[in-house]
Amino acid sequence: MPKKIVVAPRPFRVFTRRDLDRIPQLQRFGNDELLAMKAVANVLPFRVNEYVCDELIDWERVPDDPIFQLTFPQPGMLPPGELDRMIDLLRRDAGDAEIQREARRIQQGLNPHPAGQVELNVPRLDGVPLPGMQHKYRETVLFFPSSGQTCHTYCTYCFRWPQFVGLDELKFAAREADSLVAYLRAHPEVNSVLFTGGDPMVMKTRVLRRYIEPLLAPELDHIVSIRIGTKAPAYWPQRFTTDDDADDLMRLFEEVHAAGRHVAIMAHYSHPRELAPPVAQAAIERVQNAGATVRCQAPLIRRVNDDAQTWADLWKRQIVLGAVPYYMFVERDTGPRQYFEVPLARALDIFTTAYRRVSGLGRTVRGPSMSATPGKVLVDGIAEVHGEKVFVLKFLQARDQTWVNRVFFARYDEQATWLDQLRPAFGEKEWWFQPTIRAMRRQGWQPPWGDRSRVRKRVTNFGHVEWE
Ligand SMILES: *Cc1c(COP(=O)(O)O)cnc(C)c1O
């Protein structure tokens, strides 16, 4: 019998930039500190809910507390000159237009569109672009429902920050499931749909249902798994337990299960503390009881979780709860990266030390992994080959699936924090995949998938349909 965790309901209350003065715990800060926070919150997104403030942040330890760093604007997130200019504008009560203009200028300097997020990954159907979708890796389509484009609380390092400050005007968002269904019908090579955002779990169950139910049709039997990328299990576990439509959400997961598909909650857990409250544990238990699994992923972030014991504790708690450690990501090359980034060499060291401290059950995790333009690149180790110290890299995912699982080598570099700062080892002038990436760019990144004449249908021993 699973142990039953009983939790009391709680109303959702949220604070944004204009409510900073109203957050009771912030009273401990002086006016200058609050002003610096407001200055940063004018440039980078800020949104926090009461549960995070009351249950996850240790206010005796601010500003160093990891969840405080994860959710509240920090003065170091802007270059010093920019911070001062912003503070100055606020101090002399400049108008909204002037503040907004200055904020836009600073935002443009923070590499808002890394890895060609906006223009490179939008799929087409009969030549028509389908906004709100991304199809970068053959077997998985990402879907961004328009009503799931916010979060219960924003992470300070969020790589999707431009859409939350209005830079992207929700370019990603899709209004209806119709185009998703049409695209999937034409793409039997896809076997996984990943709902992402924002956070799809900000949607009411009845809205989420409108997107998920059409995927259960028999004609889409090549869809094996439906994934939901979400931070709600950490920031608002009530979504799965006591919210009005939590029960209905469980019924939806059960329906997907009954339709012979798998639901995976891809939970973003940054720190073991997020798994400590009884309600957070109850959320996982309920999801599992509805026939779904919880897989866990997060980036490695300086000041939040850049420590091996933190990751070992995180993975061990996940194992206790039956959740599966999945990815450790490298902080992306956008936004306040200079504040949060960790060199790849150090990331690998933290990963390896933590990995050694868990049993094989925790070694389902892969990392540190960079989601870069050519694919997901794993920093797999350090080696010496013919006297040259190198990083051993490996594609976990790639735009060309023949690259998947391929190992390659970069010159060792203690400071590098991203793929574009690495150089190929052994005197190579460029990466072996570079000519293909150039060709893909020239051709508008159209992948050769989806042409039904190029895939073969096969029925497996289990009666599943497979396309290869
Ligand atoms: C990570 C990612 C996926 C999913 O990759 P998995 O290895 O299957 O988890 C799909 N699309 C994009 C663009 C991604 O970054």
Phi and psi torsions of 220, nearest 5°: -105, 40
Of ligand 1's atoms, which has the minimum distance to the CA of residue 192?
8
Q: CB within 6 Å of ligand 1 — which residues?
A: 134, 136-137, 140, 142, 194, 371, 376, 396-397
Distance CA 379, CA 195 (A): 26
Strand 14-16 to 47-49 pairing: antiparallel
For residue 343, the CA-to-ligand 1 centroid distance in Å is: 23
Give the position of tokens 């150039």. Answer: 438
Question: What would the two tokens of residue 273 be?
Answer: 């503390």
Same domain, 212 and 311: yes
Atom 4 of ligand 1: nearest residue by CA position: 140
Residue in 139, 140, 334, 394 to alter for ligand 1 test, most ligand atoms within 8 A of Cβ: 140
Domain of residue 372 covers 124-448
3-state secondary structure (DSSP) of residue 159: coil
Same domain, 217 and 72: no
Distance CA 349, CA 332 (A): 18
Domain boundary among 78, 108, 138: 108
Same domain, 136 and 101: no
Same domain, 93 and 129: no
Element (H, E) at 208: helix 205-212
Alpha-carbon Rg of the chain, whole angstroms?
Answer: 22
Phi and psi torsions of 406, nearest 5°: -85, 135
* Residue in 81, 68, 83 with CA at minimum distance from that of residue 38: 83
* Residue in 377, 381, 391 with CA at minimum distance from that of residue 433: 377
The pLDDT assigned to 464 comes to 56
For residue 398, the CA-to-ligand 1 centroid distance in Å is: 9
Residue 453 lies in a domain: no
Element (H, E) at 279: helix 278-289
Low-confidence ranges of the chain (pLDDT < 50): 1
Distance CA 232, CA 280 (A): 9
Atom 8 of ligand 1: nearest residue by CA position: 140
* Residue in 235, 215, 233 with CA at minimum distance from that of residue 225: 215
Residue 53 lies in a domain: yes
Residue 437 lies in a domain: yes
Question: What would the two tokens of residue 443 be?
Answer: 């051709």
Same domain, 239 and 307: yes
Residue 3 lies in a domain: no
Alpha-carbon torsion 285, 308, 391, 344, what sign?
A: positive
* Residue in 378, 396, 389 with CA at minimum distance from that of residue 425: 389
For residue 414, the CA-to-ligand 1 centroid distance in Å is: 27
User: Per DSSP, what are the bridge partners of residue 124?
Assistant: 129
For residue 334, the CA-to-ligand 1 centroid distance in Å is: 18
Look at the chain and report how many structural domains it folds into. Answer: 2
CATH code, domain with 380: 3.20.20.70
Same domain, 322 and 199: yes
For residue 140, the CA-to-ligand 1 centroid distance in Å is: 7
**438: alpha, beta or left, given left = phi > 0 and alpha = psi -120 to 50?**
alpha
The pLDDT assigned to 127 comes to 82
Distance CA 352, CA 365 (A): 11
The pLDDT assigned to 461 comes to 56
Count CA within 13 A, CB hemisphere, residue 260.
Answer: 13
Distance CA 443, CA 364 (A): 36
User: Per DSSP, what are the bridge partners of residue 467?
Assistant: 457
Residue 420 lies in a domain: yes
Of ligand 1's atoms, which has the minimum distance to the CA of residue 397?
7
Residue 8 lies in a domain: no
Same domain, 294 and 439: yes
Residue 113 lies in a domain: no
Cβ contact 155:70 at 8 Å? yes
Question: What would the two tokens of residue 106 be?
Answer: 């600073």
Cβ contact 452:183 at 8 Å? no
Same domain, 131 and 92: no
The pLDDT assigned to 117 comes to 53
Atom 7 of ligand 1: nearest residue by CA position: 397
Same domain, 230 and 101: no
For residue 229, the CA-to-ligand 1 centroid distance in Å is: 10
Of ligand 1's atoms, which has the minimum distance to the CA of residue 326?
9
For residue 402, the CA-to-ligand 1 centroid distance in Å is: 16
Distance CA 458, CA 321 (A): 37
Number of residues written out for the chain: 468
For residue 151, the CA-to-ligand 1 centroid distance in Å is: 20
| Single-letter amino acid, residue 267 | A
Same domain, 159 and 296: yes
Residue in 144, 397, 401 to alter for ligand 1 test, most ligand atoms within 8 A of Cβ: 397
Atom 10 of ligand 1: nearest residue by CA position: 140
Same domain, 189 and 231: yes
Peptide bond into 278 cis (omega under 30): no
Buried b (16+ CB within 10 A) or exposed e, 58-94: eeeebeebbbbbbbbbbbbbbeeebbeebbebeeeee
Residue 133 lies in a domain: yes
* Residue in 408, 372, 442, 438 with CA at minimum distance from that of residue 136: 372
Cβ contact 215:179 at 8 Å? no
Of ligand 1's atoms, which has the minimum distance to the CA of residue 134?
13
Give the position of tokens 């249950």. Answer: 55
3-state secondary structure (DSSP) of residue 462: coil
CA angle in degrees (0–180, nearest 5) for 389-394-399: 140
Same domain, 251 and 369: yes
